[in-house]
Amino acid sequence: MPRIVAITGGTGFVGRHLVPALLAEGWHVRSLARRLPEDARGEEVVIGSLADSAALARLVRGADAVVHLAGAIKARSAAEFMLANRDGTGALAAAAASAGVGRFVLVSTLAAREPWLSPYAASKRAAEIVLPARFPGAWIVLRPTAVYGPGDPETLPFFRVLARGIALRLNRSEARVGMVHVADLVGGIRRALAPGGEGRIFEVDDGAAAGHLWGDMLAAGAQAVGRRPIVLPVPRAALWATALLTQAAGRLTGRPQILSTGKVREIYHASWARQGPSLAQIGGWVPGIDLTQGFRETVAWYRENGWI
């Protein structure tokens, strides 16, 4: 019988890369989704959400492992972030424990390292804390640096602006940013499903231990789109004012916005390079895609699919 892995967030950016990879390895993939995905890939789908205890029970029944990808990246309040990220993780961990699941992989975020920066970061750290409290089995937490790659909607604006010949410099010139291609992250998740690293938190990046300067990222992005852009610094005050306006609009419309004052604090943080233990330390995984290759592949996919 094939091993069963229960996945949340399987229809998201990372999940769309992870599910086919696990199916190809011979896993029986059971994915939690609010609706049936349009592109059936061969996984079993459980309709429901992290707030649906019956759906969670069906998701983890008989599973050998859980990969928790789902989470909120925008919300109207700190309480909503906690409800989605902390409480959702806690509910899934408790369901997995009750079902006798052997292994739980939580894909968190590097932002959890700095929970004081934003309600999002605080909720992701809280999720990491609640996991071992609710799940007594073998668990491992992955904190990816900024994830990008083919099909990523979050980094699309970065490349769209570059393709128009403009480079926006948002943070300090000496700030460091860690990056990881989605294919390398998928490889890291697959490694985390195997024995080793239990009860630990690992950071996942592209192997550039010092991270990348913002200027280096702009240069790599410009090379990928084939433009020599004009660099326009964005004053912090202007970004802060924009965040205040979008937050106000979100409260009026009831629609959460990605740009918030907390997100601005994250953007201007001095270093998002890897600092903690690397997943590579437990062996069996090393990142293989550097920034130049990764940006080139990402832009090629955007163009092939008409995104830029």
Mean pLDDT rounded to a whole number for the chain: 93
- pLDDT category of residue 172 using cuts at 50, 70 and 90: low
- Helix ranges (H only) for 100-213 are 119-134, 156-163, 182-192
- Helix ranges (H only) for 64-110 are 78-81, 88-99
User: Taking 90 as the threshold, does the pLDDT of residue 68 lie above it?
Assistant: yes
Strands, E, within 149-229: which ranges? 166-169, 176-177, 179-181, 200-204, 212-213
Whether 296 is in a domain gets the answer yes
Residue 118 burial by CB count (10 A; 0-12/13-18/19+): exposed, middle or buried?
buried
pLDDT average, residue stretch 268-278: 89
Digit-coded pLDDT (tens) for 74-125: 988 899 999 999 999 999 999 999 999 999 999 999 999 999 999 999 999 9
Q: In this predicted structure, what is the pLDDT of residue 267? A: 85
Q: In this predicted structure, what is the pLDDT of residue 31? A: 96
- pLDDT category of residue 256 using cuts at 50, 70 and 90: confident
Contact by Cβ (8 Å): 99, 61: yes
Whether 240 is in a domain gets the answer no
Q: What CATH number does the domain containing 16 carry?
A: 3.40.50.720
Digit-coded pLDDT (tens) for 200-211: 999 999 999 889
Whether 214 is in a domain gets the answer yes
* Range(s) of the domain holding residue 40: 4-232+245-304
Q: How far is CA 248 from the centre of its chain?
A: 26
Whether 237 is in a domain gets the answer no
Number of domains in the chain: 1
Whether 239 is in a domain gets the answer no
- pLDDT category of residue 8 using cuts at 50, 70 and 90: very high
Q: In this predicted structure, what is the pLDDT of residue 261? A: 87
CA distance 107 to 84: 14
Whether 238 is in a domain gets the answer no
What region, left, alpha or beta, does residue 250 occupy, with left being phi > 0 and alpha being psi -120 to 50 degrees?
alpha
Digit-coded pLDDT (tens) for 184-229: 999 999 999 999 999 999 999 999 988 998 888 989 999 999 998 8
Q: In this predicted structure, what is the pLDDT of residue 173? A: 61
Least confident of 129-138, 257-266, 281-290: 257-266
